Amino acid sequence: MTALVIRPATAGDVDTLAGLAAETFPLACPPHTTPEAIADFIERHFRPEHFSAYLADAERRVLVAERGRGASASLIGYSMLVGGEPGDADAAAVVAGRPAVELSKFYTRAGEHGRGVAAPLMAATLEAARAAGAVACWLGVNEENARAIRFYEKQGFVKAGRKHFTVGGRVEDDWVLAQPLAQPLAQPLALAAE
């Protein structure tokens, strides 16, 4: 298996990111979500121009996971952090700590599940959140997505409350999961002389 590389996304990744998002978004949808609703959501949020805008937004950080290097590299996952006050009132009410960052997107290709991609991508994503100065990270996950919930809880997230998410005109119930982020020390603590 080729080495896993996790890095910030670049403008050269936008087309591949759009394809990866279109492939992976349905994995997070509840079974009753219609193909038309999924296609509409993808069209409105995951086109290459959307990813270009995401990369240009100073409040966002997009990381990619890839196998291989250079021309043979293949994107297999990505994450997106969104800074600023939580845009969802329900999430804002239950997320403790400011500044907080939302883990807006976290996906890996289905064929990569269980192959050691998600945990390193999460570690790098949380480190990017810390580096941006966040003291808390939160996300929304559909209450029916048991696999994702188990993964997030294993990564240190806990259920903090609920919010809603609309796909195809249908309002879905999401858990708000959150975790405090230990900040690295600005300078090492001096030990008292004995």
Residue among 126, 108, 130 at smallest CA distance from 21? 108
Q: What's the mean pLDDT when you consider all of the chain?
A: 90
- 80 close to 104: Cβ distance less than 8 angstroms: yes
pTM over cut 0.85? yes
Break the chain into its structural domains and give their ranges.
Answer: 4-180
Residue 31: both structure tokens together: 């079974």
Containing H/E element for 129? helix 118-131
Q: Name the band, by pLDDT with cuts 50, 70 and 90, for residue 165.
A: confident
Residue range 124-162, pLDDT digits in tens: 999 999 999 999 999 999 999 999 999 999 999 999 999
With respect to CATH, is domain 4-180 assigned 3.40.1650.10? no
Residue range 45-99, pLDDT digits in tens: 999 999 999 999 999 999 999 997 776 689 999 999 999 999 899 999 999 889 9
- 142 close to 12: Cβ distance less than 8 angstroms: no
Torsion angle, alpha carbons of 29, 34, 38, 40, to 10: -150
